[in-house]
């Protein structure tokens, strides 16, 4: 199958003016992501995961290399990409439904159409009854669901997610993982999801791309049956074996591991 996202030779360097020594964030990444694939970028903080994600979105430019989506250079494909941040960035003065419609507004859709689509995606994330609320009236987990609805409302081909559940408690995080997996099962949008949590990656991904020291260490397929929330996947011997392998890969590459790294 032809890759939807093609990353070729992507290198990124951040200059350090005070020391004169540059920080190499990405050494020269090659990566293919298939249509409808759910890929987790797994690795410790500072290994280049978020930098790669932002280059895929066109937020920052690499020193070398290219990214294409559906054969188009990234800056021509921005309308096909949704982004969900760890800090969801909802606008405090807007209602929930108005926040969800923000990307639709930027595309010039009339108000009635924006509100119809926003309501549709609020229902998808289970927040249709909170449409007229403001962000301060929602929990952190609910705000993340609004951010997910906002990203999905533009009907992207690719959804990029930068540790979106990292700031919530463990119970809320589990609920959000299930919600995302359920929505992905329905929509099958291509997802690239940054995490430093081995168990989160195993629960969500079709494939886990392990990163460390500004490079890709290994790509690991996750063939655990879906849906994964109907039973405790952690009791599956295959899950245990994959988890052991991933932690071994992280340890051998110099990352500190142990479930959450």
Listed by start position, the domains of the chain span: 94-155
- Residue 56's pLDDT is 96
- Between 236 and 258, where is the model more confident? 236
pLDDT digits 0-9 by tens, 55-64: 999 999 999 9
Write down the pLDDT at residue 257.
Answer: 43
Confidence grade of residue 4 (pLDDT, cut at 50, 70, 90): very high
- Reported for 232-235, long-range contacts at CB under 8 A and 24+ positions apart, including other chains, are 233/202, 233/203, 234/199
Cα distance between residue 72 and residue 49, in whole Å: 22
Cβ within 8 Å of residue 199, ≥6 positions away? 234, 243, 259, 260
Instruction: State the pLDDT confidence band at 260, using cuts at 50, 70 and 90.
Output: very low
Q: Is 94 a residue whose pLDDT tops 90? A: yes
Mean pLDDT of the chain: 91
User: What's the number of CA atoms in the CB half-sphere (13 Å) around residue 250?
Assistant: 25
Whole-angstrom distance, CA of residue 192 vs CA of residue 208: 10
Asked whether the predicted pLDDT for residue 138 surpasses 60, the reply is: yes
- Cα–Cα distance for residue pair 158/69, rounded to 1 Å: 8
pLDDT of res. 233: 79
pLDDT score recorded for residue 21: 80
pLDDT of residue 22: 84
The reported pLDDT for the residue numbered 231 is 80
Residue 128 pLDDT greater than 50, yes or no: yes
pLDDT digits (tens, 9 = 90+) for 153-202: 999 999 999 999 988 888 999 999 999 999 999 989 999 999 999 999 99
Q: Which residues contact 259 (CB under 8 A, 6 or more apart)?
A: 197, 198, 199, 247
252: left (phi over 0), alpha (psi -120 to 50) or beta: alpha
């Amino acid at each position: 199958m032809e890759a939807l996202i093609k990353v070729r030779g992507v290198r990124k360097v951040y200059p350090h003016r005070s020391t004169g020594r540059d920080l190499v964030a990405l050494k020269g990444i090659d990566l293919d992501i298939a249509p409808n694939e759910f890929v987790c970028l797994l690795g410790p903080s500072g290994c280049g995961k978020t930098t790669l994600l932002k280059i895929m979105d066109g937020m920052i430019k690499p020193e070398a290399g290219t990214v294409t989506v559906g054969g188009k250079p990234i800056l021509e494909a921005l309308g096909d990409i949704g982004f969900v941040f760890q800090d969801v960035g909802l606008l405090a003065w807007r209602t929930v439904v108005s926040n969800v419609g923000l990307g639709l507004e930027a595309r010039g859709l009339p108000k009635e159409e924006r509100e119809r689509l926003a309501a549709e995606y609020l229902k998808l994330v289970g927040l249709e009854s909170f449409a007229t609320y403001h962000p301060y009236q929602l929990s952190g987990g609910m705000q993340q669901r609004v951010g997910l609805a906002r990203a999905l409302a533009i009907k992207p081909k690719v959804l990029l997610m930068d540790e979106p559940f990292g700031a919530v408690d463990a119970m809320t995080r589990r609920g959000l993982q299930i919600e995302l997996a359920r929505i992905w099962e329905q929509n099958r949008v291509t997802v690239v999801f940054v995490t430093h949590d081995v168990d989160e990656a195993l629960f969500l991904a079709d494939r886990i791309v392990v990163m460390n020291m500004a490079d890709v260490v290994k790509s690991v397929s996750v063939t655990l049956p879906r849906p994964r929330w109907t039973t405790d996947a952690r009791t599956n011997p295959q899950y245990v074996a994959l988890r052991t392998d991933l932690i071994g890969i992280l340890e051998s590459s110099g990352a500190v591991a142990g479930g959450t790294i």
